[in-house]
Amino acid sequence: MRYQTLGILTLFAAVACQPKETKKTMGTIERLDPALDAIVSATAQPEIIAEGFEWSEGPCWIESTKTLIWSDVPRDTIFQWSEEKGTSVYLTPSGYTGTIPRGGEMGSNGLTLTKDGKLVLCQHGDRRIAIMDAPLNKPEPKYITVVDNIDGKKFSSPNDAVVRSNGDIFFTDPPYGLPNGVNDSTKETSFNGVYKASQGKATLLVDSLTRPNGIAFLPGEKTFIVANSDHEKAIWYAFDLTEDDSVTNARVFYDATKESKAGEKGLPDGFRVDKNGNIFASGPGGIWIFSREGKVLGKIKLTEPASNCALSDDEKTLFITNDMYILRVKLRD
């Protein structure tokens, strides 16, 4: 699932030489329900807007500058793209600020914004949820820790996050960023958790998933969904919240284990939910499009594994991190 490593200078040269006007497309859109027509137009097609990355993740749209940013996790770098300026480095290092050399995937993974426009980073190398201590249009590798432990035990490698309307950050913590994964000697928790960060403290919400990954709320913020990136349990799970944020009514939202075992590239990973509750989710074979009730409306079928996606603020454009590629799908006019 990894693109052949390029030197960082080689990547910059390749990016700089890309003609801005060249449009390349890939993949197809599979329509499984008439309801998809109101979400994705008949002419929509995935378009490659950037390429040459090692493992792209965590896309985040910045409306104020009309810019997409995303993590290249192994390179410990966040890149940016805009229609006007093309592709360039946004921020590095993005996930590891230590001085002791370490292996594994050190960079940032999931990226999102607070309600007041600050960048939230899931940092693998530093094993924390952090906020960039700089304006979005003048990024610097200066970070403030939000949370980095649960009851004194360090997180493994926070992976994806969503900010609730009251400012709480819900996030997942699988072991992918540790040098030796789940068997790494530095792993301090016996489980892979789903957490809430509020007022500088982390609270464990779920400890029963094998590989919790993508996370998002359905409209109303009473239910959140977690993607489980496990070939043996390639499942999206749903959880309800009580008034005091206790988790209740845990259930399977959709099980794609059959498709995963059939050899489709990719797993349930990052996803986004639009204002109507439609879900765009990376999964086996590309991006799955669900109704809020869990009905599959269609799929964006891709040749490489999709890791995550992001919506523009008007929800008319979907951006996809697709291994070495960054894709744009103009969903409708």
Is 17 domain-assigned?
no
57 annotated among ligand-binding-site residues: yes
Of 76, 173, 269, 323, the active-site residue reads 269
User: Tokens in use for 327?
Assistant: 């894709």
Q: How many Å separate Cα 148 from the centre of its chain?
A: 19
- The pLDDT value recorded for residue 17 is 45
Q: Torsion angle, CA of 321/324/326/329, rounded to 10 degrees?
A: -80
Mean pLDDT of the chain: 94
The span from the CA of 280 to the CA of 273, in Å, is 6
The span from the CA of 226 to the CA of 214, in Å, is 6
Is 263 domain-assigned?
yes
CATH number, domain containing residue 187:
2.120.10.30
- The pLDDT value recorded for residue 9 is 43
Tell me which residue of 186, 183, 194 sits closest to 229, measured CA to CA.
Answer: 194
Is 296 domain-assigned?
yes
Render pLDDT for 29-62 as a digit per residue (tens, 0 to 9).
Answer: 999 999 999 999 999 999 999 999 999 999 999 9
- The pLDDT value recorded for residue 2 is 41
Is 8 domain-assigned?
no
Is 310 domain-assigned?
yes
Answer for the pair 231, 260: CB distance below 8 angstroms, yes or no. Answer: yes
SS (H, E, C) 198-267: ECCEEEEEECCCCCEEEEEECCCCCEEEEEECCCCCCEEEEEEECCCCCEEEEEEEEECHHHHHCCCCCC
The whole-model pTM stands at: 0.93
Percentage helix, strand, coil for the chain under 3-state DSSP, each rounded to 5:
10, 45, 50
User: Domain span at residue 283?
Assistant: 27-330
**74 phi, psi to nearest 5 deg:** -65, -25
Is 20 domain-assigned?
no
- The pLDDT value recorded for residue 21 is 53
Tell me which residue of 160, 85, 167, 84 sits closest to 124, measured CA to CA.
Answer: 160
Is 13 domain-assigned?
no
Answer for the pair 288, 40: CB distance below 8 angstroms, yes or no. Answer: no
Render pLDDT for 63-88 as a digit per residue (tens, 0 to 9).
Answer: 999 999 999 999 999 999 999 999 99
Is 9 domain-assigned?
no
221 annotated among ligand-binding-site residues: no
Radius of gyration of the chain (CA): 18
Tell me which residue of 298, 296, 307 sits closest to 1, measured CA to CA.
Answer: 307
How many domains would you assign to the chain?
A: 1
Is residue 269 among the annotated active site residues? yes
- The mean pLDDT values, 10 residues at a time, for the chain of 333 residues are 42 47 86 98 97 98 98 98 97 97 93 97 98 98 98 98 98 96 96 97 98 98 98 98 98 98 97 98 98 98 98 98 98 94
159 annotated among ligand-binding-site residues: yes
Provide the β-strand partners of residue 94: none
51 annotated among ligand-binding-site residues: no
